[in-house]
Amino acid sequence: MTGDLLLHGYFRSSAAWRVRIALNLKGVPYAQAFRHLRRGEQSAPDYLAQNPQGLVPALDVAGRGTLTQSLAIVEWIEESFPGPALLPGAPWARARVRALAGIIACDVHPIQNLRVLVYLKRDLGAGQPAVDAFARHWISLGLDAVEARLAEAETGAFCHGDAPGMADLCLVPQLGNARRFGLDLARWPRVLRVEAACAALPAFAEAAPERQPDAE
């Protein structure tokens, strides 16, 4: 599969960041194409032909087509490549990891996404302070829930046990967003402990926005 994967993303996209971490954890090589979200490149006709949602990430797989939706892509990576598992083996544990990932990917990220905030500001007339407060509110609720769940016995050095996985690769990028909106993360100490464990791993460090070729 070497050289067969092309990830469409944007350095600051937390959903693309998840996929970069997953590929890095598995040790799968990939190329990147950059869609500058602030310039609207996700809405270019050639990209919409691949992903009609006009969102990143999308993953081109040579000879197969294009995958969209970061968690679907991560699950495909998990099922297609050997290497460290991104999900634990037992069904109960897998459900816990997917639930942690879902707090971020289903209930937080979608409502503080660029197009949602642009709609609030441009179409509904909300001022920038209100838009930022909206994002901080929903991110905080999600991180409160993750922090509570990290008190569970299954938590180890990472969200689930002592190996990184799908919950961690959703959490870490969301913390990048949280900081961009000015949240002080000190109120979530378990979250910060997991983030520090992730940051020590090259797979996470190399996926960070500032390490991407399109970083500004």
- Using the rule CB under 6 A, give the single segment among 7-15, 59-67, 129-137, 149-157 that binds ligand GSH: 7-15
**Residues touching ligand GSH, count (CB under 6 A):** 15
| Cα(199)–Cα(208) distance, integer angstroms | 9
Residues 67-96 that bind ligand GSH (CB under 6 A): 69-71
According to CB under 6 A, which one of 15, 103, 131, 183 is a site residue for ligand GSH? 15
Nearest by Cα to 208 from 11, 23, 10, 7: 11
- Using the rule CB under 6 A, give the single segment among 50-58, 82-90, 142-150, 197-205 that binds ligand GSH: 50-58
According to CB under 6 A, which one of 5, 21, 37, 100 is a site residue for ligand GSH? 37
Residue nearest to ligand GSH (CB): 115
- Using the rule CB under 6 A, give the single segment among 65-73, 128-136, 158-166, 208-216 that binds ligand GSH: 65-73
Q: Smallest gap, in angstroms, from Cβ of residue 85 to ligand GSH?
A: 20
Q: Smallest gap, in angstroms, from Cβ of residue 115 to ligand GSH?
A: 3
- Using the rule CB under 6 A, give the single segment among 53-61, 90-98, 133-141, 156-164 that binds ligand GSH: 53-61
Q: Smallest gap, in angstroms, from Cβ of residue 167 to ligand GSH?
A: 14
Residues 102-161 that bind ligand GSH (CB under 6 A): 105, 113-115
| Cα(119)–Cα(134) distance, integer angstroms | 12
Q: What is the dihedral of CA 154, 157, 159, 162, to 10 degrees?
A: -70
Site membership for ligand GSH, residue 208 (CB under 6 A): no
According to CB under 6 A, which one of 8, 14, 47, 191 is a site residue for ligand GSH? 14
Binding site for ligand GSH (CB under 6 A): 13-15, 37, 42, 55-57, 69-71, 105, 113-115
